[in-house]
Amino acid sequence: MDDRWAEDLHRLWQAADEAVDVMVLADDLYDVLLRLPGVRVVVGTRWDGASRGRYLRALTAGDAAPTLELLAHGPYDGTPRRPAASAEVREHAVAELRGSAWPEAGALGAAGVSQALTCTFRLGDGEWSALTLGTGDFPERKLLEARLRQVSEIVAACGRRIAERGLAERLRAADALLAEASLQMDASLDVEETVQRVARIAVPAVAVGCLVHLYRDRELQCVAAVHVAARSQRGTAELGRSDPWLARLIARAVRSPQGLRLNAGELGGGPFSAAGDAGEVGDVGDVGAVTVDALRARGRVLGTITFLYGRPEPRMPEALFLGDLAKRAALALDNAMLYEQRRQHVLSLQRHLLPAELPHVQGLDLGASYEVGDPMLDVGGDFYDVVPRDGGAALVIGDVCGRGAEAAALTGLARHTLRTLLEDGAPPGTALSRLNAALRRERTSRFVTGAIACLDPDGGEGMLLRTASAGHPPPLLLRADGAVEQVRAGGLLLGVVDEPRYTVAEDRLRPGDTAVFFTDGLTESRARDGSFFEGLLPGRLAGLRGLGAARVAEELAHQAVDFRASGADDIALLVARVRGADEGADRGAAEGTDGSGGGGEGCG
């Protein structure tokens, strides 16, 4: 072996050790081969795992730069030349090299050579390559063959090392996909959106298409269909929705303890059975393999996740990986479903703790609103009620500290105790004292605040407001002229001492005046800068002058929700406005502006 050749090999080995792709070796490699005796052209081809040509590179003696030709779109099929485990060297007459297996023929012919010495070798990961030396004759055939083989072995070793690293990278990518899928699933608790997000990140990382079916009303329905190509999106959705073959397949997957894996040969009778034929379901592109895994969580099947793999080289991930992905997706979905169910329960229970609708009370326009802070935090303890009494009404608002079942039970107790007492004609202070006694008997550990206001005709056009409060935020009065006043009622929280005293504040309301009762969720709504909505409340309320009671209640609640950056406390509001004589005092005229109507037109 001459020194130059030894140096060349050493340099190539070093480069091969660091290369991120075998193509990095090409410049040096072709120069080295072109210096071999008699060689006039060097042609390299690279083939994928399905023996489809990727590219061709050729360098002819005397040319400054190589030519590079992409073979991916050509008809090239290298199957007849696919190498066995070890590198093979063969000699060919260029004139005999024809057909789709020999893209080198053109470059060899153009260089005017008659003989070709070709070494084919595996690169790893299914790929392979061919290095061809073109010459008029081979004066030193054995030497050329040996050296071509030596160089090819360097490229093959380089390719295998890169492929091994690629395998490790794919495993890491699979882990990362599972991690990212978990993150995406946490980003939304909406079931269908969660499913669509998971399907989206899996394409094209896992496969070219992904379908998710979930049980809805005991039937599997397609809730997500994703394809890497926009043009196949609709076909994929149709496939998921209405293809009978796929429907049978996913029904089988639901019953199967393991995921289903169907290769090209097992797609018979389905929409993908004919190669390149989109079948009956529209354009879903070429599909060469299908996998279906059941989505199982907490012992039940929620649905299935189906992957479509492209042709001609469907690379299916490990079954373990698909199973893991299905498991994680199922758990996230189950959480989202449980959340939705729980949210509905909370909202429903909350509704039962509040009056279904406010009563009609002569001379009063009543309105209320309830904003649930965060349904996930469970049932809140705010409550309100209106009890009609002779010629007027008793208004109740209260707040049981805390959330959850115990708070809900106490809320029910407080509201219904007060309602019974007020229906029996108890004055506000007495009603609060009696509730306090009931709470003391129950030995409740929770604090309760509340305010009761009785509104009775004052003998003229207005009404008398008598308010007793037990540690509750003072109600506000919005006068017809826009002035805002605080009701001066105050007393101890309920359930703390045995015999608290509740004083009663008296205020006179004129037609157009409005009394606003609320819970601390309103005043304690807090902006990002730390300020509370309480400071803005009088000004905001003044701005609602002239509006009906229902609008005032809704507006204040919405403004507080918009204002707050933190805090997810519930907000309850109860509003009573004294009607003017021209609004009509009869029940029929009051219907248009009652609490359930939400309208405020015609006021003032």
Partner 1 sequence: MTGERQGTAVAGGLILVVEDSEEDTEAIERALSRSHPEVALEFASGTEGVLARLLDPAAPRPGLVLLDLNMPGRDGHSLLADIRARGELADVTVVVFTSSTAPAEVEACYAAGADSYVYKPVNFDLFRTVLKGAVDYWQQQGGH
261 interacts with partner 1 by CB under 8 A: no
Residue with tokens 């080295």: 32
- Under rule CB under 8 A, residue 176 binds partner 1: yes
DSSP one-letter string for 354-414: S-SSPPP-TTEEEEEEEE-S-GGG----EEEEEEEETTEEEEEEEEESS-SHHHHHHHHHH
> Token pair 């029940």 is at which residue?
587
Select from 100, 182, 233, 362 the one that contacts partner 1 (CB under 8 A). Answer: 233
Stretch that binds partner 1, among 2-10, 193-201, 354-362, 497-505 (CB under 8 A): 193-201
Residue at token pair 């990986």? 321
Rule CB under 8 A: choose which of 153, 180, 340, 458 binds partner 1.
180
Q: Does 278 bind partner 1 (CB under 8 A)?
A: no
Q: How far is the CB of 208 from partner 1 (least distance, A)?
A: 6
In 10 A of CB 89, how many CB atoms?
18
The C-alpha R_g of the chain, in whole angstroms, comes to: 40
Q: Residue 425 CB: number of other CB atoms within 10 A?
A: 12
* CB hemisphere CA count around 371 (13 angstroms): 24
Alpha-carbon gap, residue 169 to 46, rounded angstroms: 22
Beta carbon of residue 228, minimum distance to partner 1 (angstroms, whole number)? 5
Footprint of partner 1 on residues 300-319 (CB under 8 A)?
A: 310-312
* Rounded CA separation 465/516 (Å): 12
User: Could you say whether residue 179 binds partner 1 (CB under 8 A)?
Assistant: yes
54 near partner 1, judged by CB under 8 A = yes
Q: Is position 405 an interface residue for partner 1 (rule: CB under 8 A)?
A: no
Q: Does 98 bind partner 1 (CB under 8 A)?
A: no
Candidates 37, 139, 204, 268; binder of partner 1 (CB under 8 A) is 204
Distance CA 183, CA 346 (A): 26
To which residue do tokens 């979905």 refer? 333
Classify residue 125 as exposed, middle or buried by CB count within 10 Å of its CB (0-12, 13-18, 19+): middle
CA dist 161 and 580 (Å) reads: 90
Stretch that binds partner 1, among 98-106, 203-211, 497-505, 508-516 (CB under 8 A): 203-211
Q: Measured from the CB atom, is 312 or 546 closer to partner 1?
A: 312
Out of 64, 73, 84, 93, point to the residue binding partner 1 (CB under 8 A): 73
- Parallel, antiparallel or unpaired: strands 289-297 and 260-262: antiparallel
Alpha-carbon span 435 to 424, nearest angstrom: 14
- Contact between 160 and partner 1 (CB under 8 A)? no
Minimum CB distance to partner 1 smaller for 23 or for 437 = 23
Rounded to a whole number of angstroms, the minimum distance from the CB of residue 227 to partner 1 is 9
- Minimum distance, C-beta of residue 312 to partner 1, in the bound complex (Å): 8
Q: Which is nearer to partner 1, 312 or 599 (by Cβ)? A: 312
Residue 232 or 514: the one with the smaller Cβ distance to partner 1 is 232
Question: How far is residue 233's CA from residue 227's CA, in Å, rounded to a whole number?
Answer: 5
Segment lying near partner 1 (by CB under 8 A), choices 3-11, 191-199, 469-477, 490-498: 191-199
Choice between 172 and 252, CB closer to partner 1 = 172
Decide whether 23 or 157 has the Cβ nearer to partner 1. 23
- Candidates 228-236, 384-392, 488-496, 507-515 — which segment interacts with partner 1 by CB under 8 A? 228-236
Does 177 help bind partner 1 (rule: CB under 8 A)?
Answer: yes
For partner 1, the binding residue among 2, 3, 18, 20 (CB under 8 A) is 20
**Residue from 172, 216, 252, 488 in contact with partner 1 (CB under 8 A):** 172
Using rule CB under 8 A, residue 23 touches partner 1: yes
Separation CA 394–CA 384 (nearest Å): 11
Q: 10 Å Cβ neighbour count for 95?
A: 11
Residues 604 and 587: their CA atoms lie apart, in Å, by: 18
Would you give the end-to-end CA distance of the chain in angstroms?
109
Please say whether the beta carbons of 189 and 56 come within 8 A.
no
Query: Are the C-beta atoms of residues 287 and 310 closer than 8 Å to each other?
Result: yes
**Under the criterion CB under 8 A, does residue 24 sit at the interface with partner 1?**
yes
Which phi-psi region, left, alpha or beta, contains residue 122 (left: φ > 0; alpha: ψ -120 to 50)? beta
Task: State the minimum distance, in angstroms, from the CB of residue 32 to partner 1.
Answer: 19
Is 230 one of the binding residues for partner 1 (CB under 8 A)?
yes
Per-residue CA distances from 429 to 236, 258, 412, 418, 458 (Å):
68, 69, 20, 11, 20
- Please choose, out of 88-96, 201-209, 331-339, 385-393, the segment that lies near partner 1 by the rule CB under 8 A: 201-209
Q: Is 558 in the site for partner 1 (CB under 8 A)?
A: no
Task: Report the DSSP pairing between strands 392-400 and 382-389.
Answer: antiparallel
Tell me: does residue 228 bind partner 1 (CB under 8 A). Answer: yes
Segment contacting partner 1 by CB under 8 A, of 197-205, 359-367, 372-380, 502-510? 197-205
Sign of torsion over alpha carbons 543, 546, 551, 553: positive
Q: How far is the CB of 99 from partner 1 (least distance, A)?
A: 20
Residue 317 CB, nearest approach to partner 1 (Å) = 10
Residue 587: exposed, middle, or buried by beta-carbon count in 10 A (0-12, 13-18, 19+)? exposed
Instruction: Pick between residue 286 and residue 534 the one whose CB is nearest to partner 1.
Output: 286
Binding mask of the shown chain, residues 361 to 400, with x at each position contacting partner 1 by CB under 8 A: ----------------------------------------
Written as six digits, the tokens of 428 are 């506000």
Which residues here bind partner 1, judged by CB under 8 A? 20-21, 23-24, 46, 54-55, 68-70, 72-73, 169-170, 172-173, 176-177, 179-180, 184, 187, 193, 196-197, 200-201, 203-205, 208, 228-231, 233, 285, 310-312
